[in-house]
Structures are given as structure tokens and as C-alpha cells.
């Protein structure tokens, strides 16, 4: 299945049915009066977050979604049938943007969340509504309101607990394959990963989700390489795991390259909790490990962990550190929600 995280969609709600101009005509009943019914309301366009989807590939093959219009009113006070709604089923984590690709109309972050994107037009009144004491035989009716037509963008941001960062061939996919059942493509050339991968990892009987995104290079915010188009998938993560290749020979430059790209991208990524790991230590001797870790700790200004995705050395310690950051983030969110729900006090 192909991965698609951005698509353009055209939607249109149904127009309302027109009201009816009709009069009661039955044998032996004179002056029956108006009996025109109202038109039915048009169908609306909705978006709903559903389970079991992690890509927008369905919208590659269908980009137009039109709801049904309401039926016109009829005589004998019969109201027209309401048009059927149409529902866009999207993965959890989908942002719905206006045509300018900047204005956020809705953020589908919860399973079952439902948002109205285009409301159907109201049905027109029949001539029965216009009957008065001085106008007992009105010959007018309202037309139905037209539907709403608009263009929207769907942008998927995967919901994960941990986001993997690093240059191409930093060992991100190897780490994901070593700690989860995910099987991302692994090879000895850059840009092996072309789309994000998700994996469920577990430590101490606790599971969380890790997102592996394609590697960044210098100038990614300007569109170089694969650009920063996939950084949106780690915006919702609680913690970032920054893997630095210990065999690259340009350790400090590699670290600053990723940090500079995070600052250029924005979106609060640079302020998220971040764990820095010196990866591929299985190819280093004890002296090289200590020297490179000390140099990297000076650049980071904090603790640096050692790990090897191939030999799985240090992976458990890294997972435990990630779990601690995830628990702390959940505790902060719970406290913030409690403060918002607390009753007002003078």
C-alpha cells in the first residue's frame, strides 16, 4: 500500500429543494386553499476520524465528493426528501486545511471525531407558508438554498509517542526493526526510507509507538533531499530520539545539521524533549566510545546515551529513557486538563 499524507479534495454540499405552489382541489370542496409543501434540505459533507487507516491513499483515486440535493416540495403538504449526507473517512491525526493550505479548519485527533465541512442548503418554503388573512391564495414559493462548494486539503500527521530523527543512514530503521515487529527497508545507501514507518515497541510491559521518518540533510527546509515534508509526522510526538552515527567522522557537524533543520522548520519541534544517542557503537572500541561521547555531550550540553541497533547493545536503556519522558509528558497533559476543568474560584 502506498503512503500518502497530503491530498487535495473538492467537496460540495447538496442544495435545498424548492417549495411547491399547489392548491387543494377536491370534488365538492371549494376554496380549498394552498397546500404546497416545503422542499427538502440538502445533504451535508462531513469528515470523520476512523480506525484502521494510516494513509490518505483512498483520496488519490477519488477527489470529488458531492452530497445529494433535497427534493422539491409537492402538493397535499408533502415535504421533499432530505438529501443524503456524505462522509469523508480519514485517519486519526488528519488536519483539514482551507484552500490556502494554512488555515486549519479541523484537527482530527480523536477516534470518532466528526466535523461538518459543508452544510447542505435549506429547503424552500411552499406556498402554504405564505397564507395570511389578506392573502389566502398565495402563488409564491421559495427556491432552495444552493449548496456550498469548496476546495480543502487533507494533511496527515501520524500520532506517535516517539519520533526518530537523524541524517540518512544514521540507523533509524535498524533501531525500529530491532525493537519492534516493523520491517522497514534497510540498506547501505542514503534515503532508504522514503516514507514514514510506525512500530510498536515495548519495555517493562509498557508499549508505545515510534515513528521513523526519512532522514534529513543540510538545507532540508529549502527542499533539498526529501525536504522537511515529513517533519509534520513528529510534531505530535511526546519525545524525539536523535540518532547520531558514531562512524561518520563528522559527529558534531551531523548533530548541528539536524538541530538547525528543526529550528528552521519551527512547529515547536526544537522545544520538545529530546534524547540524543550515539549510535553504531558496535563498530567502535572502548576508547573511541568515550572520546566521541564526551565530544558530543559538549555539543549537546547534556547526557548522551550509547547504543547499537545491530547488536542491540543499549537499546533497553534507551527505551526506558523514552518511556520516562512519555510518562512525564502524559502527566503534564493530565495536570493541564485538570486545571482547565477545575471550577472557578475567587
- The answer on whether 191 is annotated among ligand-binding residues is yes
- The answer on whether 308 is annotated among ligand-binding residues is yes
- The answer on whether 16 is annotated among ligand-binding residues is no
- The answer on whether 193 is annotated among ligand-binding residues is yes
Q: What is the pLDDT of residue 2?
A: 60
- The answer on whether 310 is annotated among ligand-binding residues is yes
- The answer on whether 20 is annotated among ligand-binding residues is no
CATH number of the structural domain 162-340: 3.40.50.300
- The answer on whether 215 is annotated among ligand-binding residues is yes
Distance CA 132, CA 138 (A): 8
Cβ 186 vs Cβ 174: under 8 Å: yes
Distance CA 142, CA 150 (A): 25
- The answer on whether 5 is annotated among ligand-binding residues is no
- Identify any residues that bridge with 306 across adjacent strands, giving them in sequence order: 278
Helix, strand, coil abundance in the chain, percent, nearest 5: 25, 25, 50
Residue 303: which of 283, 284, 318 has the closest Cα?
318
Residue span(s) of the chain under CATH 2.70.210.12 come to: 1-156
- The answer on whether 79 is annotated among ligand-binding residues is no
| In 73-115, alpha helices (H) | none
Q: What is the pLDDT of residue 1?
A: 46
What distance, in Å, lies between the first and last C-alpha atoms of the chain?
A: 57
Q: What is the pLDDT of residue 223?
A: 61
pLDDT tens across the length of the chain (346 residues): 466 778 999 999 999 999 999 998 888 888 888 999 999 999 999 999 998 887 888 888 899 999 999 999 999 889 999 999 999 999 888 999 999 888 899 988 888 999 999 999 999 999 998 999 888 889 999 999 999 999 999 988 877 788 888 888 888 888 888 888 767 666 555 666 666 777 788 888 888 888 887 777 776 656 665 556 677 777 888 888 888 888 888 888 888 888 888 888 877 777 888 888 888 888 888 888 888 888 888 888 888 888 888 888 888 888 888 888 888 877 766 655 555 555 655 5
Q: How far apart, in Å, are the Cα atoms of 129 and each of 16, 38, 78, 306, 341?
A: 16, 9, 13, 78, 46
pTM for the full predicted model: 0.73
- The answer on whether 311 is annotated among ligand-binding residues is no
Q: What is the pLDDT of residue 335?
A: 57
- The answer on whether 166 is annotated among ligand-binding residues is yes
Q: What is the pLDDT of residue 221?
A: 57
With the CA atoms of 181, 183, 184 and 185 taken in that order, what torsion angle do they form, in degrees rounded to the nearest 10? Answer: 160
- The answer on whether 281 is annotated among ligand-binding residues is yes
Residue 67: which of 84, 89, 80 has the closest Cα?
84
Q: What is the pLDDT of residue 339?
A: 57
CATH number of the structural domain 1-156: 2.70.210.12
- The answer on whether 208 is annotated among ligand-binding residues is no
Cβ 176 vs Cβ 182: under 8 Å: yes
- The answer on whether 127 is annotated among ligand-binding residues is no
Residue span(s) of the chain under CATH 3.40.50.300 come to: 162-340
Q: What is the pLDDT of residue 5?
A: 79
- The answer on whether 214 is annotated among ligand-binding residues is yes
Q: What is the pLDDT of residue 32?
A: 84
- The answer on whether 33 is annotated among ligand-binding residues is no
Amino acid at each position: 500500500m502506498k503512503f500518502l499524507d497530503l491530498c487535495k479534495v473538492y467537496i460540495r454540499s447538496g442544495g435545498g429543494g424548492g417549495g411547491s405552489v399547489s392548491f387543494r382541489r377536491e370534488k365538492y370542496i371549494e376554496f380549498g386553499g394552498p397546500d404546497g409543501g416545503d422542499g427538502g434540505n440538502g445533504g451535508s459533507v462531513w469528515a470523520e476520524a476512523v480506525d484502521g487507516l494510516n494513509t490518505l491513499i483512498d483520496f488519490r483515486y477519488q477527489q470529488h465528493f458531492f452530497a445529494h440535493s433535497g427534493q422539491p416540495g409537492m402538493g397535499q403538504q408533502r415535504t421533499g426528501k432530505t438529501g443524503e449526507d456524505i462522509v469523508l473517512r480519514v485517519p486519526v491525526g488528519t488536519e483539514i486545511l482551507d484552500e490556502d493550505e494554512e488555515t486549519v479548519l479541523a484537527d482530527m485527533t480523536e477516534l470518532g471525531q466528526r466535523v461538518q465541512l459543508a452544510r447542505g442548503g435549506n429547503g424552500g418554503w411552499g406556498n402554504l407558508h405564505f397564507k395570511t388573512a389578506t392573502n389566502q391564495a398565495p402563488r409564491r414559493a421559495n427556491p432552495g438554498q444552493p449548496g456550498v462548494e469548496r476546495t480543502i486539503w487533507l494533511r496527515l500527521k501520524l500520532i506517535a509517542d516517539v519520533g526518530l530523527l537523524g541524517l540518512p543512514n544514521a540507523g533509524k530503521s535498524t533501531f525500529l526493526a530491532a525493537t519492534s515487529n516493523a520491517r522497514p527497508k534497510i540498506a547501505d545507501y542514503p534515503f532508504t526510507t522514503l516514507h514514514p514507518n510506525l512500530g510498536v515497541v515495548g519495555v517493562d510491559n509498557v508499549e508505545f509507538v515510534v515513528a521513523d521518518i526519512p532522514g534529513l540533510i543540510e538545507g532540508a527546509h529549502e527542499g533539498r533531499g526529501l525536504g522537511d515534508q515529513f517533519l509534520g509526522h513528529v510534531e505530535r510526538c511526546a519525545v524525539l530520539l536523535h540518532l547520531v552515527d558514531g562512524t561518520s567522522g563528522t559527529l558534531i557537524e551531523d548533530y548541528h545539521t539536524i538541530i538547525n533543520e528543526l529550528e528552521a522548520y519551527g512547529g515547536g519541534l526544537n522545544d520538545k524533549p529530546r534524547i540524543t544517542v550515539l549510535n553504531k557503537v558496535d563498530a567502535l572500541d572502548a576508547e573511541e566510545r568515550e572520546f566521541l561521547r564526551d565530544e558530543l555531550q559538549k555539543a549537546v550540553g547534556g547526557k548522551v546515551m550509547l547504543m547499537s541497533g545491530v547488536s542491540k547493545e543499549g537499546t533497553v536503556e534507551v527505551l526506558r529513557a523514552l518511556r520516562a519522558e512519555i510518562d512525564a509528558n502524559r502527566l503534564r497533559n493530565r495536570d493541564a486538563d485538570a486545571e482547565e476543568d477545575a471550577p472557578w474560584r475567587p
